[in-house]
Amino acid sequence: MAENGTARRGSPAHPVPAHPVPDPAAAVERHVLAPRAGAPNNPHLPLLVYRGAVGEGDRAATFESLFAGNGWGGLWRDGIYGWHHFHTTAHEVLGIAAGRARVRFGGEEGIEVALAAGDAVLIPAGVAHRNLDSSPDFLAVGGYPPGQEPDMKGTGEAEAARAAPRIGRVPVPATDPLYGRDGPLTHLWHPESGAI
């Protein structure tokens, strides 16, 4: 989630194609994050990291166009909170529009992922995430699947225990936020595997 969900930074520096498409050669990393100390995570749906999904140009506008074009909404531009948090009511996509960041996924005992401009990450409901460090120009574009609105939860044993049943009820989206009906999400996330 953004530090300020309504923030808008800068104006487009480059025109955005009428129908932008993600790089078909983008590599996709999968990370299954089981429950860990105070973070419910999601042992059934993998965290997906799309490397180099968007090329040069106005990446923020391109990510927004791709996300919206694939039915994802609640779009925002901002940074990533510097404290561990997760959502029990929504999955979340982050497109890195500018700069770089080191983000920890899965709580204190989770994994550290380096993200750079052009990368995107799909975060399953329940997966804790936190910005460890970022460049001064860091900018992310975030969004959520149709019909899903994020809540905000901090990590902790009691919170994680209460969250697990809700996380398992968050539906798997019908479309990948970058590739639509035929993308990594639709191939790697299966509705029957979403229950925790």
Tell me, yes or no, whether 195 lies in a domain: no
Q: Is the pLDDT of residue 131 over 60?
A: yes
Tell me, yes or no, whether 12 lies in a domain: no
Whether the CB-CB separation of 139 and 98 falls below 8 Å is answered with yes
- CATH number, position 149: 2.60.120.10
111-120: pLDDT as tens digits: 999 999 999 9
Tell me, yes or no, whether 8 lies in a domain: no
Confidence of residue 37 (pLDDT cuts 50, 70, 90): confident
Q: Is the pLDDT of residue 54 over 60?
A: yes
Q: How many secondary structure helices (H) and strands (E) does the chain include?
A: 3, 11
Q: How far is CA 31 from the centre of its chain?
A: 13
Tell me, yes or no, whether 2 lies in a domain: no
pLDDT for position 195: 43
pLDDT for position 190: 82
Tell me, yes or no, whether 35 lies in a domain: yes
Nearest CA among 153, 124, 154, 123 for reference residue 140: 123
Q: What is the domain range of residue 82?
A: 27-190
Tell me, yes or no, whether 16 lies in a domain: no
Tell me, yes or no, whether 3 lies in a domain: no
Domain count, the chain: 1
Backbone φ/ψ region at 69: left (φ over 0), alpha (ψ -120 to 50), beta: alpha
Phi, psi of 73 (to 5 degrees): -135, -160
Enter the tokens of residue 50: 């799309």
- Measured CA to CA, the distance from residue 181 to residue 133 in angstroms comes to 34
Tell me, yes or no, whether 15 lies in a domain: no
pTM attached to this predicted model = 0.87
